[in-house]
C-alpha cells in the first residue's frame, strides 16, 4: 500500500538479475574485506548508508523523506562519535520509481559505494526487482513496503520498519464496523499499492457483520470520476472506505461533494498521511469538510519524549519540512538507521554479515534489558555491558520473526489548529487480526 502505483514497463528478466547478482556479490565481498582490514588496523572510515529510492518523478517524495531521515540520524550518530569512530554518510541512488531503472542503479550502488553498510529503501515499486541483488550482496536493508508477499520472508537482510498491509486491512475493517458504519461502499484505485489492502479489509469487515453495498474501483489520476461517483451515491452507503493518491482523492471527493451536496464519512488508509494528500484534498473540499468527514487509519508512531525531540531537532537541521516532522514513515526510517548503527556497536563490527545478527538484539524488550531512547544512551549502555532495547522517535520496533515491525494502529483526524493529522485513539491488538 505504501508504494505508489506500478508502471507498465516490464521488470528486468530473472536471468539478467542473476547475472547482475553475481557481479554484485563479488564487488560487495571486496568491499567487506576492505572494511575488515580497516577494522583490523584500527583505522577509521566513512561508512555509507545507501538511500535507494525514487528522487525524480511522481514518487520523488519517497526519496526525499528517506534521505532526510537518514541524514538526521547520521547527524545524531556522528555528533556522538560515530559508529566506533567511523562517520556515517547517506549516499543517494535514484531509482526513478521504475523497476527497470532500479536494477542498474542498485548494481552501481553495490559496486561503487564506499564501505556500504546498510541500504535505506527501496519502496514497493522497485523492491521485487532489486531485493534479490541486495540479499545476494548480503547488505541489510530497511524498507516501509506494505506488500503482504513479504509477510513470511526469511532473509536476515530484509527489515520492514512499518506493518504489513495484511494488518492494515483488518485494522480499517475493525474501526469501520466499530464506528457503526455497517453498510458501506469501498473505493480503491486500481493500482497494486492500493489493492493489497482490499481483501484483508473486506474479510475483517464482513466478519464483524458489515455489509458491502458496492465496490468502486477506479483508475488513478483521471480528470473526472463522475461515473464512479454516481455509482457510489446510487448504492446509498452510510460511509465509504478506501485508498486514493492525492490527485485522485481531490478530484473524486470534489465531484462527490458537487453531485451529493455533501461528502460522506470516508475512512482512508495511511496513504492519506503521505506528502501532498492533505494539501490537495483540503484545497479541493475545504479544511472543515476534511475535519468533519475524513478519518485515516495508520500505524501509531507518535513518539514522545527525548527520542522524538532529538528527531525533530535534527530533522530541522538537515532541512526537513514541517510535514516530515509528524510523518510516521520518516520517523520510522530515522529509527531504522539508529538501530542498525547500534547493532554495529553491539557486534563490535561494521561488517554487514556480522552486525545483521544483532539488529534484533538491540530492538527487543526483555528481562534485564535497558530501554534507551537515543543513540548516545544506547552506546553508553552497551559500553557498560548492558543489553538494550532502542525505543525511538516512532516508538518500539517490535520486530516479529519475519523482521516486520508489529506496531499498533491508530485513528487520525484532521486538526485545523495543527493543520495536520492528530491521533485520536490507538486501536487494540484485536483490530489487527484477520
Q: What confidence tens digit (pLDDT) does each residue in 264-275 have? A: 999 999 889 887
Cβ atoms of 201 and 167 closer than 8 Å: no
pLDDT value of residue 276: 85
pLDDT value of residue 1: 45
Cβ-based neighbour number of residue 179 at 10 Å: 14
* CATH architecture, domain 14-162+305-396: 3-Layer(aba) Sandwich (3.40)
Helix (H, G, I), strand (E, B) or coil at 69: helix
The answer, yes or no, to whether residue 12 has pLDDT greater than 90, is: no
CA geometry: angle at 301 spanning 299 and 302, to 5°? 130
**What DSSP character marks residue 6?**
P
Average of per-residue pLDDT values in the chain: 89
pLDDT value of residue 42: 56
Q: What is the rounded CA–CA span in Å between residue 318 and residue 310?
A: 13
Q: What is the rounded CA–CA span in Å between residue 151 and residue 406?
A: 11
Q: Which residues contact 80 (CB under 8 A, 6 or more apart)?
A: 375, 376, 379
φ and ψ of 413, to 5 deg? -120, 150
For residue 218, list its beta bridge partners: 189
Q: What is the rounded CA–CA span in Å between residue 93 and residue 101?
A: 11
Could you state, in order of their start, the residue ranges of all structural domains in the chain?
14-162+305-396, 166-300+407-432
Q: Confirm whether pTM is higher than 0.85.
A: no
pLDDT value of residue 38: 46
Mean pLDDT across 137-151:
94
**What DSSP character marks residue 273?**
G
**Cis preceding-peptide flag for 24 (omega within 30 of 0):** no
Cell of 351: 561488517
**What DSSP character marks residue 144?**
-
The answer, yes or no, to whether residue 9 has pLDDT greater than 90, is: no
Q: What is the rounded CA–CA span in Å between residue 317 and residue 74?
A: 12
The answer, yes or no, to whether residue 40 has pLDDT greater than 50, is: no
The answer, yes or no, to whether residue 143 has pLDDT greater than 50, is: yes
pLDDT value of residue 8: 33
Q: How confident is the model at residue 193 (pLDDT cuts 50, 70, 90)?
A: confident
Q: What is the rounded CA–CA span in Å between residue 160 and residue 88?
A: 21
φ and ψ of 246, to 5 deg? -55, -50
What CA–CA distances, in Å, run from 222 to 4, 226, 268?
Answer: 15, 10, 19
**What are the residue ranges of helices labelled H in 261-365?**
277-285, 287-293, 305-317, 322-325, 328-347, 352-355
Query: Of 268 and 4, which is predicted with more confidence?
Result: 268
Q: How confident is the model at residue 376 (pLDDT cuts 50, 70, 90)?
A: very high
The answer, yes or no, to whether residue 89 has pLDDT greater than 80, is: yes
* Closest listed residue to residue 338, CA positions, set 367, 311, 357, 370: 311
Cell of 228: 464512479
Query: Of 91 and 21, which is predicted with more confidence?
Result: 91
The answer, yes or no, to whether residue 129 has pLDDT greater than 70, is: yes
Q: How confident is the model at residue 302 (pLDDT cuts 50, 70, 90)?
A: low
Range with the largest mean pLDDT of 26-40, 51-65, 222-236, 316-330: 222-236
The answer, yes or no, to whether residue 6 has pLDDT greater than 70, is: no
Q: Which fold has domain 166-300+407-432?
A: Rossmann fold (3.40.50)
What CA–CA distances, in Å, run from 307 to 182, 327, 371, 377?
Answer: 40, 15, 11, 10
Q: What is the rounded CA–CA span in Å between residue 408 and residue 360?
A: 19
pLDDT value of residue 146: 87
Amino acid at each position: 500500500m505504501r508504494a505508489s502505483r506500478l508502471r507498465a514497463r516490464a521488470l528486468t528478466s530473472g536471468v539478467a538479475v542473476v547475472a547482475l547478482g553475481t557481479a554484485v556479490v563479488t564487488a560487495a565481498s571486496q568491499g567487506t574485506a576492505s572494511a575488515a582490514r580497516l577494522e583490523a588496523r584500527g583505522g577509521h572510515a566513512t561508512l555509507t548508508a545507501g538511500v535507494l529510492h525514487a528522487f525524480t518523478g511522481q514518487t520523488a517524495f519517497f526519496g526525499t523523506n528517506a534521505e532526510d531521515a537518514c541524514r538526521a540520524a547520521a547527524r545524531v550518530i556522528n555528533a556522538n562519535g560515530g559508529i566506533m569512530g567511523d562517520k556515517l554518510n547517506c549516499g543517494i541512488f535514484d531509482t526513478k520509481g521504475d523497476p527497470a531503472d532500479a536494477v542498474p542503479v542498485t548494481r552501481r550502488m553495490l559496486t561503487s559505494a564506499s564501505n556500504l553498510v546498510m541500504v535505506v529503501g527501496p519502496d514497493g515499486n522497485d523492491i521485487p526487482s532489486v531485493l534479490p541483488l541486495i540479499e545476494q550482496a548480503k547488505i541489510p536493508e530497511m524498507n516501509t513496503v506494505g506488500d503482504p508477499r513479504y509477510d513470511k520472508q526469511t532473509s536476515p537482510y530484509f527489515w520492514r520498519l512499518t506493518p504489513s498491509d495484511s494488518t492494515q486491512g483488518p485494522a480499517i475493517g475493525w474501526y469501520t464496523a466499530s464506528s457503526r458504519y455497517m453498510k458501506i461502499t469501498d473505493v480503491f484505485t486500481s493500482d497494486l499499492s492500493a489493492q493489497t489492502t482490499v481483501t484483508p479489509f473486506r474479510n475483517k469487515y464482513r466478519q464483524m457483520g458489515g455489509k458491502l453495498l458496492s465496490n468502486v474501483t477506479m483508475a488513478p489520476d483521471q480528470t473526472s470520476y463522475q461515473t464512479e461517483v454516481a455509482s457510489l451515491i446510487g448504492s446509498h452507503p452510510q460511509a465509504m472506505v478506501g485508498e486514493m493518491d492525492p490527485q485522485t482523492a481531490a478530484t473524486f471527493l470534489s465531484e462527490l461533494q458537487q453531485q451529493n451536496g455533501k461528502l460522506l464519512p470516508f475512512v482512508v488508509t495511511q496513504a492519506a498521511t503521505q506528502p501532498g494528500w492533505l494539501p490537495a484534498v483540503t484545497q479541493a473540499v475545504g479544511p472543515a469538510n476534511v475535519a468533519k468527514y475524513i478519518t485515516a487509519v495508520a500505524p501509531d508512531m507518535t513518539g514522545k519524549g527525548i527520542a522524538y525531540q532529538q528527531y525533530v531537532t535534527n530533522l530541522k537541521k538537515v532541512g526537513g519540512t514541517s510535514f516530515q516532522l509528524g510523518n510516521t514513515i520518516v520517523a520510522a526510517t530515522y529509527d531504522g538507521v539508529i538501530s542498525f548503527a547500534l547493532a554495529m556497536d553491539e557486534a563490535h563490527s561494521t561488517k554487514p554479515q556480522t552486525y545483521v545478527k544483532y539488529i534484533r538484539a538491540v530492538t527487543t524488550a526483555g528481562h534485564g534489558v535497558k530501554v534507551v531512547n537515543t543513540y548516545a544512551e544506547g552506546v553508553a549502555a552497551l559500553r557498560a555491558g548492558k543489553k538494550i532495547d532502542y525505543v525511538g522517535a516512532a516508538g518500539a520496533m517490535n520486530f516479529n520473526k519475519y523482521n516486520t515491525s508489529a506496531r499498533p494502529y491508530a485513528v487520525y483526524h484532521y486538526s485545523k489548529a495543527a493543520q495536520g493529522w492528530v491521533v485520536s485513539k490507538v486501536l487494540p491488538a484485536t483490530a489487527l487480526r484477520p
